[in-house]
């Protein structure tokens, strides 16, 4: 079969996997010439065909020269309408479009930005990193919900949308979607595995490498630095950051993981109160009333091993729309992820647009809130007050209201909330 | 108006199609159960056809609208034209507009006016500079490519021209001041031509170009 054209690319790029997968399913033959990045794409012959100077690039046998992975993939998919890769109706084609665009702009872009920062291709900034990661997480959560009732993104068979999303997700699970995050993206991971294991695509995608812990930035060593922390430095190379699909990146060496320090919360004496059991009780039972989760709580709580706290946002005058404040709680909870084992929260927005407060309750390991919450860079934006829910009636009322989502403070009623569990 | 809205309205205008623009309140309309029923992600822009087909993602909506009127030439006259239009749209969205967005968020500290997350923590001039350099590299390529054609793909306006012009209009309001714009005469000549097309002139509106690029303003 004659080839439809030449495809200049680097095989590990997600766009390459997408284009090659399209050809495999569309039954198209593609020629892959020898290609040396940073050399061949600077030559006049290359630039004459592809002024953008980037890869991937496609040189059609019919004289069409095309840049931009997504455009190449769609063009090739369009050459084989019977493949169904672009759906079978204009509406399905538009939906395929929609998902490709969503995956690229709402998930991949964020992933690339974070990768570029943690590998020092652009300067690192923790606030920016957090913001971008939050954005990506919202998108992944939407995708997760959508995939909870479907196998494929559009219609009942594989399309370009699925291939593109899978190639994006394959990268995401090596950078930001670590074990903790993936536990909340069960359907998304199931989807990824389904696509990368399609018989014709398995060899193209290769193995999916799941990162244990999201890539973090390691500040470069300064000249005169004090000795590294007591814990032995692990030079074990766990995560291999895949090269970014950007043509000005050089090969990067592996970034060694930070030494694992023991969490003092794990060294506390064993407690009969099991936080996971509590979370299950809270999720499965009604909060108030007979055989409710509050009843379970009072029967099982261990005041020595755990404590209950009231949390209030310090800058309520800055809050505007209720849904934005709700998102803020969500963001705060995302950043508390590292303390998942030690924390339960039920925090809400009380009041109305432009007249609201953020307030709620936390149940945490130990007798001090700070070691549990200080993994979140913005923990100091909140005030923490220890509660005695057994002896103090006011504290008890507050706690129960926060858990039952009917808390009222200073006349402000609970409008929306989030749980950390 | 953001590029994704401009491109949808322009596609409809040039295609001679009418769009019913629904009243919309951000944070209210897109949180209502009726909206979320159709558009589960709660995002805008969102499109709903008369027979109940729903779509999100500005670029996808614009392309679908354009595809309903093939005689308009918005998607070119051949499969190759369509692919090249695709290519340009994708390029300016990812390699120019994405950086305008990121820089805009950086200098505005991500939240309007006051912020729970101290703005000083999220602004970083090295990140800003790095992002702008990437945008500049893309603008250089665009400048060179635009010089050889009247319109980007065919001999008349296509969706690619509309999107490029909209993205450039936005950049000229955020990252490109007068001095920066002077480096890209071809780009801005193309912009002027596209934005002056009588069918879409009102959509592009009176663009507010900045004298100097937006900078981070420290809060006292």
Specify the 3-state DSSP secondary structure of A337.
helix
Q: What is the mean pLDDT of residues A171-196?
A: 95
Closest approach of B124 to chain A, Cα-based (Å): 7
User: Given this model, what pLDDT does residue A147 score?
Assistant: 95
Residues 147-206, chain B, touching A (beta carbon < 8 A) = none
Closest approach of A232 to chain B, Cα-based (Å): 31
Asked if the Cβ–Cβ distance from A70 to B90 is below 8 Å, we say: yes
- Closest partner residue to A75 (CB to CB) among B83, B110, B121 is B83
CATH of domain B79-204: 1.20.1050.10
Plot region of A259 (φ>0 → left; ψ -120 to 50 → alpha; else → beta): beta
Output the six-digit token pair for A42: 């600077």
Asked if the Cβ–Cβ distance from B124 to A101 is below 8 Å, we say: no
Output the CA angle A347-B122-B30, nearest 5 degrees: 50
Residue of B nearest to A381 (CA): B116
Provide the residue count of chain A.
421
Q: Closest Cα to residue B85, out of A84, A46, A67, A55?
A: A67
- Expressed in angstroms, the distance from the first to the final Cα of chain A is 56
Give the range among A91-100, A357-366, A399-408, B143-152 with minimum mean pLDDT: B143-152
Asked if the Cβ–Cβ distance from B141 to A142 is below 8 Å, we say: no
Confidence of residue B27 (pLDDT cuts 50, 70, 90): confident
Cβ neighbours around B201 below 10 Å, total: 13
Q: Helix and strand tally (H, E) in chain B?
A: 11, 2
Output the six-digit token pair for A392: 């103090």
The share of chain B scoring above pLDDT 70, in percent, equals 91
CATH of domain B3-72: 3.40.30.10
Asked if the Cβ–Cβ distance from A122 to B131 is below 8 Å, we say: yes
Output the six-digit token pair for A378: 């913005």
The DSSP bridge partners found for residue A58 are A7, A66
Four-point Cα dihedral A157, A160, A163, A164, nearest 10: -140
- In this predicted complex, what is the ipTM? 0.74
The share of chain A scoring above pLDDT 90, in percent, equals 65
Output the six-digit token pair for A385: 């007050």
Confidence of residue B219 (pLDDT cuts 50, 70, 90): low
Q: Closest Cα to residue A28, out of A8, A6, A55?
A: A6
A198, A141 in Cβ contact below 8 A? no
B55, A98 in Cβ contact below 8 A? yes
| Burial (0-12, 13-18, 19+ Cβ within 10 Å), B53 | middle
What strand order describes the sheet that includes A343-352?
A382-387, A306-313, A355-365, A343-352, A412-420, A408-409
Q: Return phi, psi of residue B65, to 5°.
A: -60, -45
The pTM assigned to this predicted structure is 0.62
Output the six-digit token pair for A67: 């840049």
Residue of A nearest to B65 (CA): A94
Output the CA angle A111-A117-A118, nearest 5 degrees: 90
| B145 contacts on A by Cβ (under 8 Å) | 51-52
User: Given this model, what pLDDT does residue A150 score?
Assistant: 92
Rounded Cα distance between A249 and A50, Å, is 19
Confidence of residue B115 (pLDDT cuts 50, 70, 90): very low
Give the range among A109-113, A205-209, A218-222, A288-292 with minimum mean pLDDT: A218-222
Query: Does B141 contact chain A (CB < 8 Å)?
Result: yes
Output the CA angle A83-A84-A85, nearest 5 degrees: 90
* Residues 6+ positions from B17 with CB-CB distance below 8 Å: B65, B68, B69
Output the CA angle A187-B43-A403, nearest 5 degrees: 65
Output the six-digit token pair for A255: 């970034």
Asked if the Cβ–Cβ distance from B60 to A123 is below 8 Å, we say: no
Four-point Cα dihedral A82, A84, A90, A94, nearest 10: -150
| Burial (0-12, 13-18, 19+ Cβ within 10 Å), A324 | middle
For chain A, domains (ranges, CATH) are: 5-83 (3.40.30.10), 90-205 (1.20.1050.10), 269-420 (3.30.70.1010)
User: Given this model, what pLDDT does residue B119 score?
Assistant: 52
User: Given this model, what pLDDT does residue B183 score?
Assistant: 93
Q: Closest Cα to residue A8, out of A79, A103, A72, A76?
A: A72
Q: Give the CA radius of gyration of chain B.
A: 18
Query: A52-102: per-residue pLDDT in tens?
Result: 889 999 999 999 999 999 999 999 999 999 999 999 999 999 999 999 999
Rounded Cα distance between A263 and A120, Å, is 28
Rounded Cα distance between A129 and A220, Å, is 17
A332, A324 in Cβ contact below 8 A? no
- CA A39 vs. chain centroid, Å, equals 35
Residue of B nearest to A102 (CA): B57
Rounded Cα distance between B58 and B75, Å, is 16
Residue of A nearest to B86 (CA): A71
B17, B72 in Cβ contact below 8 A? no
Closest approach of A109 to chain B, Cα-based (Å): 8
DSSP string covering A395-407, please?
A: HHHHHHHHHHT--
The share of chain B scoring above pLDDT 90, in percent, equals 65
| B90 contacts on A by Cβ (under 8 Å) | 68, 70-71
Residue of B nearest to A56 (CA): B87
Rounded Cα distance between B82 and A93, Å, is 14
Query: B73-101: per-residue pLDDT in tens?
Result: 999 999 999 999 999 999 999 999 999 99
Return the domain boundaries, chain B: 3-72, 79-204
Closest approach of A323 to chain B, Cα-based (Å): 7
* Residues 6+ positions from A342 with CB-CB distance below 8 Å: A265, A275, A364, A365, A366, A372
Closest approach of B199 to chain A, Cα-based (Å): 25
Element containing residue A363 per DSSP (H, E): strand A355-365
Does A122 have pLDDT greater than 60? yes
Specify the 3-state DSSP secondary structure of B215.
coil
Closest approach of A41 to chain B, Cα-based (Å): 13
Give the range among A21-25, A83-87, B144-148, B201-205 with minimum mean pLDDT: B144-148
Output the six-digit token pair for A314: 């310090």
Does A120 have pLDDT greater than 80? yes
- Expressed in angstroms, the distance from the first to the final Cα of chain B is 31
Asked if the Cβ–Cβ distance from A98 to B41 is below 8 Å, we say: no
B96, B138 in Cβ contact below 8 A? yes
- Closest partner residue to A98 (CB to CB) among B57, B116, B145 is B57
Query: A392-420: per-residue pLDDT in tens?
Result: 999 999 999 999 999 999 899 999 999 99
Residue of B nearest to A124 (CA): B127
Output the CA angle A163-B44-A76, nearest 5 degrees: 25
Asked if the Cβ–Cβ distance from B60 to A101 is below 8 Å, we say: yes
Q: At what angle do helices A109-118 and A160-172 cross, to 10 degrees?
A: 20
Asked if the Cβ–Cβ distance from A321 to B55 is below 8 Å, we say: no
Query: A236-274: per-residue pLDDT in tens?
Result: 333 333 443 343 333 333 344 444 567 888 888 889 899
Sign of the CA dihedral A116, A120, A122, A126?
Answer: positive
């Amino acid at each position: 079969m004659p080839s439809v054209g030449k495809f200049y690319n680097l095989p590990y790029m997600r766009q390459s996997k997408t284009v090659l997968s399209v050809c495999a399913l569309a039954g198209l033959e593609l020629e892959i010439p020898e290609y040396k990045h940073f050399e061949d794409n600077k030559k006049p012959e290359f630039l004459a065909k592809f002024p953008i100077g980037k890869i991937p690039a496609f040189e059609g046998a019919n004289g069409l020269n095309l840049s931009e992975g997504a455009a190449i993939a769609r063009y090739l998919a369009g050459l084989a309408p019977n493949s169904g890769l672009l759906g079978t109706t204009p509406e399905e084609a538009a939906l395929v479009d929609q998902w490709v665009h969503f995956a690229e702009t709402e998930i991949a872009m964020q992933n690339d930005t974070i990768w570029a920062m943690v590998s020092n291709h652009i300067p690192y900034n923790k606030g920016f990193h957090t913001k971008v990661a939050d954005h990506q997480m919202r998108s992944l959560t939407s995708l997760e919900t959508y995939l909870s009732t479907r196998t494929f993104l559009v219609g009942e068979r594989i399309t370009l949308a699925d291939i593109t999303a899978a190639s994006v997700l394959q990268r995401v699970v090596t950078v930001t979607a670590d074990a903790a995050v993936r536990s909340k993206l069960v359907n998304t991971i199931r989807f990824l595995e389904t696509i990368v294991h399609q018989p014709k695509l398995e060899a193209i995608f290769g193995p999916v490498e799941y990162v244990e812990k999201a890539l973090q930035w390691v500040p470069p060593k300064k000249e005169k630095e004090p000795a590294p922390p007591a814990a032995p430095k692990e030079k074990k190379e766990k995560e291999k950051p895949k090269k970014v699909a950007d043509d000005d990146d050089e090969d990067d060496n592996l970034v060694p993981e930070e030494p694992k320090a023991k969490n003092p919360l794990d060294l506390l004496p064993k407690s009969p109160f099991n936080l996971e059991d509590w979370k299950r009780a809270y999720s499965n039972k009604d909060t108030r009333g007979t055989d409710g989760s509050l009843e379970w709580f009072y029967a099982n709580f261990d005041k020595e091993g755990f404590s209950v706290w009231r949390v209030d946002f310090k800058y309520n005058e800055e809050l505007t729309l209720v849904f934005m404040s709700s998102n803020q709680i969500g963001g705060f909870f995302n950043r508390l992820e590292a303390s998942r084992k030690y924390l339960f929260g039920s925090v809400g927005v009380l009041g109305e647009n432009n007249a609201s407060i953020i307030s709620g309750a936390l149940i945490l390991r130990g007798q001090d809130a700070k070691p549990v919450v200080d993994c979140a860079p913005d923990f100091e934006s909140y005030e923490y007050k220890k509660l005695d829910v057994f002896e103090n009636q006011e504290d008890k009322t507050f706690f129960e209201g926060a858990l039952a989502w009917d808390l009222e403070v200073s006349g402000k009623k609970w409008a929306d909330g989030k749980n950390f569990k | 108006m953001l590029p994704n809205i401009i491109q949808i309205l322009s596609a409809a205008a040039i295609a001679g199609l009418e769009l019913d623009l629904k009243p919309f309140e951000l944070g209210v309309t897109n949180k209502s159960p009726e909206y979320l029923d159709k558009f589960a992600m709660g995002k805008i822009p969102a499109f709903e056809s008369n027979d109940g087909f729903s779509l999100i993602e500005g670029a996808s909506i614009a392309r679908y609208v354009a595809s309903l009127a093939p005689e308009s030439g918005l998607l070119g006259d051949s499969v190759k034209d369509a692919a090249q239009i695709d290519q340009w749209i994708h390029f300016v969205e990812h390699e120019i507009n994405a950086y305008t967005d990121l820089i805009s968020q950086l200098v505005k500290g991500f939240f309007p006016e006051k912020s729970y997350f101290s703005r000083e923590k999220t602004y970083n001039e090295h990140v800003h500079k790095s992002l702008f350099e990437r945008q500049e590299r893309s603008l250089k390529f665009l400048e060179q490519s635009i010089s050889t054609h009247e319109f980007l793909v065919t001999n008349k306006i296509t969706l690619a021209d509309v999107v490029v012009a909209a993205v450039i209009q936005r950049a000229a309001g955020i990252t490109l001041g007068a001095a920066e714009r002077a480096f890209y005469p071809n780009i801005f000549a193309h912009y002027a031509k596209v934005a002056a097309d009588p069918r879409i002139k009102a959509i592009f509106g009176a663009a507010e170009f900045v004298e100097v690029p937006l900078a981070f303003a420290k809060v006292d």
